[in-house]
Amino acid sequence: MNGGDAATSQGSGPPPPLEWRFSQVFGERTAGEEVQEVDIISAIEFNKSGDHLATGDRGGRVVLFERTDAKDHGGSRRDLERADYAVKHPEFRYKTEFQSHEPEFDYLKSLEIEEKINKIRWCQPANGALFLLSTNDKTIKFWKVQEKKIKKVCDMNVDPSKAVGNGCLTSSSSPSQSVANGLYADGTHNYLSNDFSFPPGGFPSLHLPVVVTSQEASIVARCRRVYTHAHDYHINSISNSSDGETFISADDLRVNLWNLGISNQSFNIVDVKPANMEDLTEVITSAEFHPIHCNVLAYSSSKGSIRLIDLRQSALCDTHSKLFEEPEAPGSRSFFTEIIASISDIKFSKDGRYILSRDYMTLKLWDINMDSGPVATYQVHEHLRPKLCDLYENDSIFDKFECCLSGDGSRVATGSYSNLFRVFGVAPGITEATTLEASKNPMRRQVQTPSRPSRSLSSITRVVRRGSESPGSDGNGNSFDFTTKLLHLAWHPTENSVACAAANSLYMYYA
């Protein structure tokens, strides 16, 4: 790992290693509880301020959480070893949820379309309302979430002593009075006649309910727009532009540009589909807008390359302005080389200077001003390399892990198996590499274990030895559960706080 070669735009000295602590968990399973497929979390995203967090699941639901603690609060924790060590402990609570997507069936192609949420992206808030984009394989939706005051009927102002029957009142108690022409004998109006003209002074007995707005509020989610029929293949990415008006969506072969206000048309800006599909050698795996420049975006491929494109150069971006790829080491090619080189996720740093990419085995940090190779490479689970054949046989080698950067760009994080995630420091001279487990006891203790002969994948997945993995270990004697994997995680935009998904549970940590 050459993480010490990384350059960041942050201060001159390396930051101290972070001490991570468990913060919260939502949707934790009880012992022996079976997780339903539809409840497994498939997307996580903080909004720009970090005050709201959204998750999507395989059942097509979007769940929103909001921050409840004061932003300026940073008191000492009881369980801290040093009394002078004060941290901000972010706390979130459940806000609302809504059904974003439903299962569909494309009759023209005889294709089932899953309701699973692939990506969520927050848009700019307005007038106290929250806006976000969510997508499944084919359809993108634009949602508005806002609080609305509940209106209640609090007073019917009816005098029960005068009410007769269904509420119609008469001025006479004598049934023998004449009702000819709608008048009683004493000249008063008969309100029950067929004469619908209003009497002078109106109806004294007509009472209406009084509706008032209570202090209670209900959170309403409304789908404002649906963007559809623009992708022949599964959508793997959506990303907002910094202009607040446009966004991109990417599938295996195309990247489309949308205007948030126009749902019936999009502009195809990248098309890698060959004239003959037999000539297809790579597909698009992820796409991301530059955080500052709305004319710049990047997309990654299954061959491990990242292309930077500039919308000012050409309307159809057939050519890239920069290409980032790592030269293949001579003699290292194998059957799995291209599979594990495929990039599953890319993220820009907050200042747009760096691109973080995740392939199956590593995290790589790229400087957009240097396309000769990555400035840093971080090994996530190198000890799994001898097991690539087993991982291929059970399709684990095709798992798509996400990655994220801290707001100050000093650290990066990604997930692994056994619900582990790893945090690496990227400042010059720092070798921080922390391994945590998504549980209420996130720090794994270092345990000395004797070397054991390697075991088959089937025996590894049967037994999960908690506490056997230590940060920086080589995997000797470690047992990993490949059925539990931490694919999705997000870093708070301004604080050292990470949200990650383990099956149907959302775990949150702070440092």
DSSP string covering 95-114: EEEEE----EEETTTTEEE-
Q: Which residues contact 344 (CB under 8 A, 6 or more apart)?
A: 285, 286, 358, 359, 360, 399, 400, 401, 402
194 domain-assigned: no
Supply φ then ψ for residue 56, to 5 degrees.
Answer: -120, 150
In sequence order, what are the residues at sequence separation of 6 or more whose Cβ sits closer than 8 angstroms to the Cβ of residue 421? 413, 414, 415, 435, 436, 438, 486, 489, 498, 500
For residues 306 and 343, is the Cβ–Cβ distance under 8 A? Answer: yes
pLDDT at 134 > cutoff 60: yes
For the entire predicted model, the pTM comes to: 0.77
Q: Which H or E run contains 509?
A: strand 505-510
Compute φ and ψ for 159, nearest 5 degrees.
-85, 105
Q: What is the pLDDT of residue 150?
A: 74
- At residue 15, the pLDDT reads 57
The answer to whether residue 160 is domain-embedded is: no
Determine the straight-line distance between the first and last CA of the chain, rounded to whole angstroms: 24
The reported pLDDT for the residue numbered 13 is 58
Is residue 505 within 8 A of residue 27, CB to CB? The reply is yes
Domain for residue 209, yes or no?
no
Domain presence at residue 211? no
The rounded distance, in Å, linking the Cα atoms of 298 and 14 is 29
Q: What pLDDT digit, counting tens, does each position of 387-401 carry?
A: 999 999 999 999 999
The pLDDT value given to residue 363: 96
pLDDT tens digits for 207-218? Answer: 667 776 666 778
Pull the structure tokens for residue 129. Answer: 């309302």
**Tens of pLDDT along 24-38?**
999 887 777 788 899
What CA–CA distance (Å, rounded) separates 141 from 238? 11
Three-class SS string for 415-460? ECECCEEEEEECCCCCCCEEEEECCCCCECCCCCCCCCCCCCHHHH
Per-residue pLDDT tens over the stretch 399-449: 999 999 999 989 999 999 999 999 999 877 777 888 888 886 655 433 333
| CB-count burial class (<10 Å; 0-12, 13-18, 19+) for 282 | middle
Would you say residue 272 lies in a domain? yes
Between residues 333 and 170, which one has the greater pLDDT?
333
Are 299 and 255 a contacting pair, CB within 8 Å? yes
Residue 354 domain-assigned?
yes
- Residue 434's DSSP bridge partners are 423
Average pLDDT rounded to a whole number, residues 38-59: 95
CATH number at residue 253: 2.130.10.10
3-state helix/strand/coil string of 458-493: HHHHHCCCCCCCCCCCCCCCCCCCCCCECCCEEECC
Q: Are 47 and 130 in contact (CB under 8 A)?
A: yes
pLDDT band at residue 77 under the 50/70/90 scheme: very low
Does 313 score more than 80 pLDDT?
A: yes
Task: Let me know how long the chain is.
Answer: 511
The mean pLDDT value for 267-293 works out to 94
Whether 170 is in a domain gets the answer: no
Percentage of residues of the chain with pLDDT beyond 90: 55
Residue 411 lies in a domain: yes
pLDDT of residue 314: 80
Alpha-carbon gap, residue 279 to 272, rounded angstroms: 11
Cα distance between residue 335 and residue 385, in whole Å: 12
- Overall domain count for the chain: 1
Q: What is the mean pLDDT of residues 224-245?
A: 95
Q: Which domain holds residue 62?
A: 3-143+227-510
